[in-house]
Chains A and B, each alone.
Chain A
Amino acid sequence: MYYPYLRGKQFELLALREFVEKYSDNCKVFPIIEPVKNSFNSMKIALKKLQEKNVPYALILNPQNGELIGKVETILEELVELLLDTDKWIPAYIVNTNAKGISNHIQTKGYQQVMLICQNSVDSNNLEFLELINLPGITKALISNDNRSLKRKLDRLGKDVIRLDDNFKPQKRNSDYVDIPEEIFTEEHRYYDIEDKYQGLGDYTVLTSDFLEGGRLPYAVAIHLTYEKNSDEIWVRHFVSDTNDDSTNIQGKFGEAAEKAVHFFEQIPFSNDSIAELTGYYRNEQYPGLGVLKKISIKNHLELMNSILSH
């Protein structure tokens, strides 16, 4: 199973919705969503779609970023109708030094199936943390690959252990990708299960694990698309515009970047829904907006991981 970690923002959620719309019948994707926005509209539409299509997901109840930090009751109230059916979703918690509070919350709520996302500040010998992972309700735990002793402990307790990798290497500016046409993204999909004995693998898709808000109009347009290279490795290719000296003419810049992407995938040749959508905008000479480009990048990665884990 593949566990993409997504922040509950408009275009991340849109990517998810469009993905499950098409792939719910053969879905190897178990999304983890961190709510970060006060306005719950996009979130409600997306969760509704996931439930309708019977795709289970994890919802983080103690977000560490954005507008909902410490607002667990707000989250539960806003989404109350969607969360009634506990077969459709599982609660998730980000664990750092807050194990005690999480244990209390799980017990108060009586949750039976819980996911933990362990940050690197977790001390696997800490008593409160040990009490937390010993709760029978804890079924899944995401950890970084660096924490071997934690993995062993969780394994012994019979939990599903999932590795969470921070695969995307962000550059300061989009124009910095000009010198990095592509780079290896991951090959863990080959090793995570049989060799490394994880029950799943996760990443932050083609976004950085850092939480970033807004941003200004960039000087360069960059489209990040993952694809399978050398038959068994996943690479990310950065398609960047050429005229990058100021923030004007974003349409023209999109045209430049999209042209490179479209030609590249024609030559492999490879396509999926996301590549087809991008090709469509390029052929119709239509600029879809930066949000849609982000959606395409994320959706493409979901499609890719789903197809790799399916065969």
Chain B
Amino acid sequence: MKKQMAHGQKEKMRSYASIFSSTSFARLLKNEDFDFINKKIERYDSNKIGKNFTTYSEYIRYAYNSLKKEYRCEYVYKNELINELLLKKYGTENTVVINEFKVGNSVADMVLFNGTSKAFEIKTELDSEKRLSGQLNDYTKIFKECYIVTHESLIEKYLETDEKIGVIAIIKHNNSFKMREVRKATVSEDIDASVLIRSLRTQEYKNVVMAYFGQLPCVSNFQMFDECAFLMKQIPNSELHRLFITELKKRASNTQLLQSFYKELRQLCLSLKINQKDYQELSLKLSQPIKL
């Protein structure tokens, strides 16, 4: 951020960012608990009710847009990644997006499977790049394409990382923000079976072995993991990539529904794995006028 934000303003933005919390929204969905939003309105915005916003969904849009302008936290990046890249560029047909995917000793912020596999690591202006090389090192062990997602002011810095790693940036464009692919990731065919098996669920690694060898090893459940890990190492890289993508695309996902959700809440809906019915309920609740 160019100018140093005044302390009070920063506090306010932090407060706005905390609205987009999955625990709070899960609670809102379960009970009628608007407390976490009401507190923010009371503290900062009660005089704007009826002018800038009337309903809860309008307030959420207001808070989100403020964040987008002044305090781009991880939530904003993830949400824009969904809005700008996933929905506009990649398309959701045949695509599965997963939040927080465990790879080796790291957790990728967002991963995507369609014909290929992509991992995204978000580095906002508020983040430090500590751990970045370790994270990317983990992701490249099983993903074909890996990206850093960052702010336009940091493009130069992140272009200096490994050339195979793609860079995507949030870019200001005529008063709005766009996501642009600054550098395309190099597609890698390497894959580390021993890291991969640890990112898969039991049924998934059994399916991978089954699909390639036509049968499971004749060992007990207690030895199944070790035996499957051994067998998976013998599967050729390109084939293992394909089987990995096939399995992950079977995971229950609401990726197809994302388009129909409130633009500001898509990332929340993804991380809460919200279905159509829950969404309707949530949307009904949020369309109510603000009541303090």
A-side residues, CB < 8 A to B, are: 38, 67, 246-252, 254-255, 285-287
Contact = CB atoms under 8 A, between A and B. Distances in A.
A252 B228 CA distance: 12
B221 A286 contact: yes
Contact of B226 (A249, A250, A286): A249
A252 B226 contact: yes
Contact of A248 (B30, B198, B222): B198
Given A247-B102, A251-B225, A252-B223, 20 more contacts: A38-B30, A67-B30, A246-B198, A248-B197, A248-B198, A249-B225, A249-B226, A251-B221, A251-B224, A252-B222, A252-B226, A255-B220, A255-B221, A255-B222, A285-B220, A285-B221, A285-B222, A286-B221, A287-B221, A287-B222
Nearest to B223: A252
Contacts of B198: 246, 248
Contacts of B220: 255, 285
A287 B203 CA distance: 13
Contacts of A250: 202
A182 B202 CA distance: 31
Contacts of B222: 251-252, 254-255, 285, 287
Q: Interface residues of B: mostly helix, strand, loop or mixed?
A: helix
Q: How large is the interface on B (under 10, 10 to 19, 20 to 34, 35 or more residues)?
A: 10 to 19
Nearest to A249: B225
Contacts of B226: 249, 252
A248 B225 contact: yes
A305 to B, nearest CB: 31
A250 B200 CA distance: 12
Contacts of A246: 198
Interface string B232-257: 00000000000000000000000000
Interface string B54-98: 000000000000000000000000000000000000000000000
A186 to B, nearest CB: 33
15 contacts: A67-B30, A248-B197, A249-B225, A249-B226, A251-B202, A251-B221, A252-B222, A252-B224, A252-B225, A254-B222, A285-B220, A285-B222, A286-B221, A287-B221, A287-B222
A38 B198 CA distance: 34
Can you list the 4 inter-chain pairs with the closest CB atoms, starting with the nearest? A255-B222, A285-B220, A249-B225, A248-B198
A56 B197 CA distance: 49
A184 B220 CA distance: 35
A143 B267 CA distance: 48
Contacts of A38: 30
Contacts of A249: 225-226
Looking at B102, B202, B221, B223, the one whose CB has the most chain A CB atoms below 10 A away is: B221
Nearest to B221: A251
Contacts of A254: 222
A99 B224 CA distance: 56
Contacts of A286: 221
Nearest to B31: A67
A67 B27 CA distance: 10
A282 B198 CA distance: 23
Interface string B192-236: 000001100010000000000000000011111110000000000
A298 to B, nearest CB: 24
Looking at B198, B220, B222, B226, the one whose CB has the most chain A CB atoms below 10 A away is: B222
B62 to A, nearest CB: 31
A24 B221 CA distance: 36
Contacts of B224: 251-252
Contacts of A251: 202, 221-222, 224-225
A287 B30 CA distance: 33
Contacts of B197: 248
Contacts of A67: 30
Contacts of A255: 220-222
Contacts of B225: 248-249, 251-252
